[in-house]
Chains A and B, each alone.
Chain A
Amino acid sequence: MMPDFLTIAGAAKFFGAARVLDNVDLGVKRAEFVSLLGPSGCGKTTLLRIVAGLLTPDAGTVRLDNADITRRPPHHRDIGVVFQNYALFPHLTVAENVAFGLEARRAPRGETRAAVARFLGLVHMSEFADRSVRALSGGQQQRVAVARALAVRPKLLLLDEPFSALDRKLRETMQIELKRLLRELSTTAVFVTHDQDEALMMSDRIAVMNRGTIEQLADPATVYHRPATGFVLGFVGLSSRIAGEVVAAAGEEVVLATPRGKLRAAGTLASGTKAFVAVRPERIRLGAGGGDNELELPLRDIVFQGSKMQLHFDAGEGDQVIVEAAQLPGLPLAPGAPVKLSFAPADALAFALDAKP
């Protein structure tokens, strides 16, 4: 197995009495793209700043490329950062911004000029080289910030919500572009975001963070389909959920008694536990399914979403049932009419109820 390129061990940080980061471990492999995903205040930016050397952790170590860099100042770390507001130097031109890191390292003039030309080309900003950065749009500033951080060929690139200031359409283009660029350059990257879609689409692995800890570290499909905790389930994607009580447990499967009938789900909970069953909306089928979990609920709303339809059902107090389907079957679906639904026990997950966010 390939050893980790970046290793964070037992990182902790307090701001006054508030524990912002609680004993966090994280390993990132060479050329891997790992996202730190979580709500604001979960500690993801604090963790990023610790890796960059802009904050000193109260406990724990940071190792990069087989060296302990915990106490090393940022200018000796060889870690590039793309800041949320880009932090471009307002008194310098686009080319001077990109050249800054090389000049600070006293690279030969020719090498600097070549690197500036190459990286401005990679982010499609060559024609803006002599412009003032003040005259650029948000998307252009972001490209310059990426070029500036990459031009020194850092060992690791950190990105702090670099897309949050861009409008939706531009954001998607930039995400695809950046992902491709980082792969072409085999750049190791840690990416901070609160946007689950962004994390799912860009990452090799996602670390879902909550209250200063990592709740789950896994590839996007696992995070989405097999969330480790109720928090991860709630934070990443939509889900239908029905509360009840565990009445039988065998191996990896439990049976819950709910107001909607007995439901089987994956999970390891003891009998008697108050719990809920969660299913992703696209894993619920319209119509009866032989041997699977079945529900019959009145339809409340149909929401047209272009490529898919979203059906909301009247569930009990505190429960919600949402179904997503590419197209509606030929049956008449009128609001208020009861509809049969089914889903496989393997697609359902049981979580203890107090773990619900």
Chain B
Amino acid sequence: MKPRRERIDPVAWLALPAVAYLALVYALPLIMLLARGVMGPKGFTIEPLASFLSDPFNWQVIANTLKIAALVTVVCLLIGYPTAFALAWSSGWTQVVLLAAIILPLSVGVVVKAFAWQIVLRRDGILSQLMVSLGVWDEPVRLLFTETGLVLGAANVFLPFMILPIYSVVRLIDPRLAEAAATLGATPVYRFRRIVLPLTLPGVLAGVVFVFSLSIAMYVIPSLLIGDRYQTLATLVGRSFLFMRNEQLGSTTATVLLVLAVAVVVGSGVLARRLGRSA
């Protein structure tokens, strides 16, 4: 549905403090940063971008970034989708405990969590010992400093951002819709596909956008869980500014990261809307 063009609602003025704050401390510095990526000594130039894109190493970094972000999003979706239903359909103490288990970890800093995962993912870590004692692995395996370890750790950190938006739409689905579908002859699978899934799609989309944009830009978690040898766009931005003192490269990399993030978020929005209409 398209919003109708109307005169600005006076209520919109309530957003003025937030808009002013974001314009000053976020939008303005961002514009300056991006400008630096396309401004050379002789004015506007696309030379830094062109040289960035001509380097195969940078393409590898882009691939790493998209791969990790996509894997984290998929893992969060697979775990978070059923969890959101458990949360929405439980009641009383079960629901309180579940909700606390999902929200409380948000109060633990991401650095603390990343260090905790370092301990879990070591060769002699808890995960390795567990898999060996269960007989799944023949010998201890180090997951730390691997893509798998990074995806596991990041998915843990970002899981609440997948569960909560889905939970909020599941809660609003009238249980009689599924009953009505059943009395019309729909099997449980058909009911899920035609009724429950399309109605939860807005929540899924919100969760995917949250988790994807968080994990495409994450810096601390890859720094601690996979290290310097594996670069993503965000860690490359950090390196450019902090270690290489190459502001031009940093700005260009940040521009590429921003464009990718916006493209994927907008693209998935369009896709989900189209899926929702045809379902």
Q: Interface on A for B, CB 8 Å cutoff?
A: 52-54, 73-81, 83, 85, 87-91, 100-101, 103-105, 148-149, 152
**Extra A-B contacts (16), CB below 8 Å, given A53-B182, A88-B180:** A52-B183, A74-B182, A74-B183, A75-B183, A75-B186, A75-B188, A80-B183, A87-B177, A87-B179, A89-B177, A89-B180, A91-B198, A101-B184, A103-B194, A148-B180, A152-B184
Residues of B within 8 A of A79 (CB): 183
> Roughly how many angstroms separate A52 CA and B180 CA in the complex, as a whole number?
10
SS of B interface (majority): helix
Chain A nearest CB, measured from B91 CB (Å): 15
Q: A91-B276, A148-B184 are in contact. Are A104 and B190 (CB under 8 A)?
A: yes
Encode B164-208 as 1/0 by CB contact (under 8 A) with A: 000000000010110111111111101000110011000000000
Chain A nearest CB, measured from B162 CB (Å): 22
Residues of B within 8 A of A53 (CB): 182-183
> Roughly how many angstroms separate A101 CA and B183 CA in the complex, as a whole number?
8
Q: A81-B180, A100-B194, A104-B190 are in contact. Are A91 and B185 (CB under 8 A)?
A: no
Q: A89-B177, A104-B190 are in contact. Are A54 and B184 (CB under 8 A)?
A: no
CB < 8 Å A-B pair total: 71
- CB distance B186 to A100 under 8 Å? yes
Q: A83-B176, A87-B176, A87-B177 are in contact. Are A100 and B184 (CB under 8 A)?
A: yes
Q: Which residue of chain A has its CB nearest to the CB of B279? A: A91
- Interface core residue of B180, B187, B276 (most chain A CB under 10 Å): B180
Q: Which residue of chain B has its CB nearest to the CB of A160? A: B176
Residues of A within 8 A of B176 (CB): 83, 85, 87
Q: Which residue of chain B has its CB nearest to the CB of A154? A: B183
Residues of B within 8 A of A78 (CB): 185
> Roughly how many angstroms separate A80 CA and B190 CA in the complex, as a whole number?
17
> Roughly how many angstroms separate A103 CA and B193 CA in the complex, as a whole number?
13
> Roughly how many angstroms separate A89 CA and B178 CA in the complex, as a whole number?
9
> Roughly how many angstroms separate A75 CA and B174 CA in the complex, as a whole number?
18
- CB distance A85 to B174 under 8 Å? yes
Which of B185, B195, B279 sits near A101, CB closer than 8 Å? B185
**Lowest 5 A-B CB distances belong to which pairs?**
A101-B184, A87-B180, A104-B186, A87-B176, A74-B182
Residues of A within 8 A of B195 (CB): 89
Residues of B within 8 A of A76 (CB): 185
> Roughly how many angstroms separate A110 CA and B45 CA in the complex, as a whole number?
61
Residues of A within 8 A of B179 (CB): 52, 54, 74, 81, 83, 87
> Roughly how many angstroms separate A336 CA and B6 CA in the complex, as a whole number?
65
> Roughly how many angstroms separate A76 CA and B181 CA in the complex, as a whole number?
12
- CB distance A87 to B190 under 8 Å? no
Chain A nearest CB, measured from B188 CB (Å): 8
- CB distance B185 to A152 under 8 Å? yes
Q: A87-B176, A90-B199 are in contact. Are A104 and B181 (CB under 8 A)?
A: yes
> Roughly how many angstroms separate A17 CA and B88 CA in the complex, as a whole number?
27
Which of A83, A91, A105 sits near B180, CB closer than 8 Å? A83
Residues of A within 8 A of B279 (CB): 91
Residues of B within 8 A of A81 (CB): 179-180, 183
> Roughly how many angstroms separate A284 CA and B219 CA in the complex, as a whole number?
89
- CB distance A105 to B183 under 8 Å? no
Which of A77, A89, A91, A103 sits near B183, CB closer than 8 Å? A77
> Roughly how many angstroms separate A103 CA and B187 CA in the complex, as a whole number?
11
Q: Which residue of chain B has its CB nearest to the CB of A158? A: B183
7 contacts between A and B (CB under 8 A): A77-B183, A87-B177, A89-B177, A89-B194, A91-B279, A100-B184, A104-B184
Chain B nearest CB, measured from A73 CB (Å): 7
Residues of A within 8 A of B177 (CB): 87, 89-90
Residues of B within 8 A of A100 (CB): 181, 184, 186, 194
> Roughly how many angstroms separate A103 CA and B279 CA in the complex, as a whole number?
12
Q: Which residue of chain B has its CB nearest to the CB of A145? A: B180
> Roughly how many angstroms separate A80 CA and B177 CA in the complex, as a whole number?
13
Chain A nearest CB, measured from B271 CB (Å): 17
Residues of A within 8 A of B184 (CB): 75, 80, 100-101, 104, 148-149, 152
- Interface core residue of B176, B183, B187, B190 (most chain A CB under 10 Å): B183
Residues of A within 8 A of B181 (CB): 89, 100, 104
Chain B nearest CB, measured from A124 CB (Å): 21
Chain B nearest CB, measured from A162 CB (Å): 13
Which of A85, A88, A104 sits near B185, CB closer than 8 Å? A104
Q: Which residue of chain B has its CB nearest to the CB of A100? A: B184
Q: Which residue of chain A has its CB nearest to the CB of B202? A: A91
Residues of A within 8 A of B187 (CB): 75, 104
Chain B nearest CB, measured from A55 CB (Å): 10
> Roughly how many angstroms separate A91 CA and B202 CA in the complex, as a whole number?
12
- Interface core residue of A77, A79, A104, A149 (most chain B CB under 10 Å): A104
> Roughly how many angstroms separate A194 CA and B50 CA in the complex, as a whole number?
75
> Roughly how many angstroms separate A100 CA and B186 CA in the complex, as a whole number?
9
> Roughly how many angstroms separate A79 CA and B177 CA in the complex, as a whole number?
16
Residues of B within 8 A of A101 (CB): 184-186
Q: Which residue of chain B has its CB nearest to the CB of A151? A: B184
- Interface core residue of B182, B186, B199 (most chain A CB under 10 Å): B182
Q: Which residue of chain B has its CB nearest to the CB of A98? A: B184
Q: Which residue of chain B has its CB nearest to the CB of A74? A: B182
Q: Which residue of chain A has its CB nearest to the CB of B190? A: A104
Q: Which residue of chain A has its CB nearest to the CB of B198? A: A91
> Roughly how many angstroms separate A104 CA and B276 CA in the complex, as a whole number?
18
Q: Which residue of chain B has its CB nearest to the CB of A105? A: B185
Residues of A within 8 A of B198 (CB): 91
> Roughly how many angstroms separate A79 CA and B179 CA in the complex, as a whole number?
12
- CB distance B182 to A87 under 8 Å? no
Residues of A within 8 A of B185 (CB): 75-76, 78, 101, 104-105, 152
